[in-house]
């Protein structure tokens, strides 16, 4: 079960790949999501959100009765051995209440929404770790506005309490999130790294030969992803490596600001915005690039793009924050830099581009590290968790 598979970010891709993997291994799986309309490739069941704004507000702020009764019927008809929830931030109360007590629940936690009111996990202005949780301090520290705190106070309080009571096992992808959850009273938390469904490695030789100093950014163009930090760092790098190039894949609310930033810095010929690409279009970009840059400024989860880069044997330069250090072993399969530091990021990029011996070593190790994130390893770990939860559920 997942709250939505649009706009198709890493969590949504993992959800769909997860279903395909379980079915491929012979498990009987039914999937459910919430969306406005059903499209090709959507899960087995879909609870359609209302097109009427007032009803959607009622559903989100108070209680979604339609979701409650439909989930109750689906679970009764299918009679599963367990329910695995991937995201439950949209309608947590009706989802949890609709599942009978005799059916165990596993919940994957893919972000900080269970432990942080702003979801960032850090203060937006300083980048320091935020421990406000859902207390009034989250308003005082300007994590969220007062109206949002007041509107969702009771819902957050009851849904978090019910989640702790009903979920038999929480699955997280990295140690930082596990620590934060335990600090706020969550228990039965296990770490299971994400996996990557391999793509065709064929690349565009023409693009590879055109410029062998290509850096790659793949992600949502939103403030927390830190693409503006990367653009500033590239300006520094460009002074020493004039033929450097950056390809940016993705879209989002910050795109106009980023395009303006590129123009003001005079980097129009250095940075190429490709927009949203299909997964099948990514292999040639990975192959053509020297490495992937992940400049996040929030408590980033274990991003799927990092595992993709490993599969293609590419080094990763990433912020030393959230789940990124769990995937990047500094000076082995990549380089870590101080979050929000343009200068440190620029230094790491210069090392990647100019130190060929180190880069080749990281290429080799990056590919070796991928084995830990293969579908087979993920499936074996997941099935052991499933069996434990079913056997111990009383």
The span from the CA of 346 to the CA of 302, in Å, is: 23
Q: What does the block give as tokens for 58?
A: 């009622």
Secondary structure element (H or E) that encloses residue 273, with its range: strand 271-275
Domains delineated in the chain: 10-195+374-392 (3.40.50.2000), 205-372 (3.40.50.2000)
Q: How many CA atoms lie within 13 A of 335 on its CB side?
A: 21
Residue of 115, 120, 134 lying closest to 301 (CA atoms): 120
Question: Among the residues of the chain, which ranges form H helices?
Answer: 10-24, 53-61, 65-78, 92-98, 137-140, 146-166, 175-183, 205-210, 227-238, 255-264, 282-288, 304-311, 324-327, 342-354, 356-369, 375-392
Do the bridges between strand 167-172 and strand 189-191 make them parallel or antiparallel, or are there none, so unpaired? Answer: parallel
Identify whether the C-beta of residue 67 lies closer than 8 Å to the C-beta of residue 95.
Answer: yes
Identify whether the C-beta of residue 88 lies closer than 8 Å to the C-beta of residue 108.
Answer: no
User: Which pLDDT belongs to residue 61?
Assistant: 87
Return per-residue pLDDT of the chain as tens, 394 residues.
Answer: 887 666 556 778 888 889 999 999 999 999 888 865 555 556 688 888 888 989 988 988 889 999 999 999 999 999 999 999 988 888 899 999 999 999 999 999 988 989 999 999 999 888 898 888 899 999 998 889 999 899 888 888 999 999 999 999 999 999 999 999 999 999 999 999 988 888 765 554 454 444 579 999 999 999 999 999 999 999 999 999 999 999 999 999 999 999 999 999 999 999 999 999 988 899 999 999 999 999 999 998 878 899 999 999 999 999 999 999 999 999 999 999 999 999 999 999 999 999 999 999 999 999 999 988 999 999 999 999 999 999 998 6
Do the bridges between strand 334-337 and strand 316-319 make them parallel or antiparallel, or are there none, so unpaired? Answer: parallel
Identify whether the C-beta of residue 107 lies closer than 8 Å to the C-beta of residue 88.
Answer: yes
User: Which pLDDT belongs to residue 292?
Assistant: 97
Decide: helix, strand or coil at residue 169: strand
The span from the CA of 304 to the CA of 196, in Å, is: 7
Residue with tokens 């140690």: 175
pTM of the model: 0.91
User: Which pLDDT belongs to residue 10?
Assistant: 74
Phi, then psi, of 341 in degrees rounded to 5 = -90, 105
Q: How remote is the C-alpha of 135 from its chain's centroid?
A: 25
Residue of 272, 134, 292, 127 lying closest to 210 (CA atoms): 272
Residue of 129, 171, 204 lying closest to 18 (CA atoms): 171
The span from the CA of 139 to the CA of 143, in Å, is: 6
């Amino acid at each position: 079960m997942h709250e939505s598979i649009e706009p198709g970010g890493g969590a949504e891709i993992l959800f769909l790949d997860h279903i395909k993997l379980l079915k491929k291994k012979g498990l009987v799986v039914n999937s459910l999501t919430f969306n406005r309309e059903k499209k090709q490739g959507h899960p087995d069941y879909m609870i359609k959100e209302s097109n009427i704004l007032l009803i959607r507000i009622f559903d989100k702020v108070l209680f979604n009765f339609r979701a409650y009764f439909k989930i109750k019927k689906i679970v009764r008809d299918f009679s599963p051995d367990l329910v695995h929830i991937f995201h439950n931030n949209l309608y947590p109360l009706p989802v949890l209440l609709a599942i009978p007590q005799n059916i165990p629940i596993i919940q994957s936690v893919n972000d900080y929404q269970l432990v942080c009111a702003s979801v960032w996990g850090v203060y937006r202005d300083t980048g320091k770790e935020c421990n406000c949780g859902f207390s009034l301090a989250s308003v005082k520290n300007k994590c969220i506005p007062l109206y949002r705190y007041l509107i969702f106070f009771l819902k957050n309080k009851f849904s978090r309490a019910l989640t702790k009571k009903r979920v038999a096992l929480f699955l997280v992808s990295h140690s930082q999130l596990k620590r934060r959850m335990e600090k706020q009273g969550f228990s039965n938390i296990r770490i299971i790294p994400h996996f990557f469904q391999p793509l065709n490695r064929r690349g565009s030789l023409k693009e590879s030969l055109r410029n062998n100093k290509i850096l790659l950014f793949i992600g949502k163009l939103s403030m927390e992803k830190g693409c503006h930090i990367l653009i500033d760092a590239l300006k520094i790098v460009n002074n020493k490596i004039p033929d450097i190039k950056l390809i940016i894949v993705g879209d989002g609310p910050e795109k106009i600001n980023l395009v303006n930033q590129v123009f003001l810095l005079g980097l129009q010929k250095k940075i190429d915005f490709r927009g949203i690409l299909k997964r099948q279009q990514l292999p040639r970009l990975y192959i053509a690039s020297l490495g992937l840059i992940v400049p996040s400024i929030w408590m980033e989860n274990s991003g799927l793009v990092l595992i993709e880069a490993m599969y293609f044997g590419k080094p990763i330069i990433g912020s030393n924050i959230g789940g990124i250090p769990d995937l990047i072993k500094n000076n082995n399969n990549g380089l870590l830099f101080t979050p929000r530091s343009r200068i440190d990021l620029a230094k790491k990029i210069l090392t990647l581009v100019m130190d060929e011996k180190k880069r080749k070593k990281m290429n080799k190790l990056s590919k070796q590290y991928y084995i830990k994130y293969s579908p087979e390893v993920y499936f074996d770990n997941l099935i052991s968790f499933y069996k434990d939860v079913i056997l111990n559920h009383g």
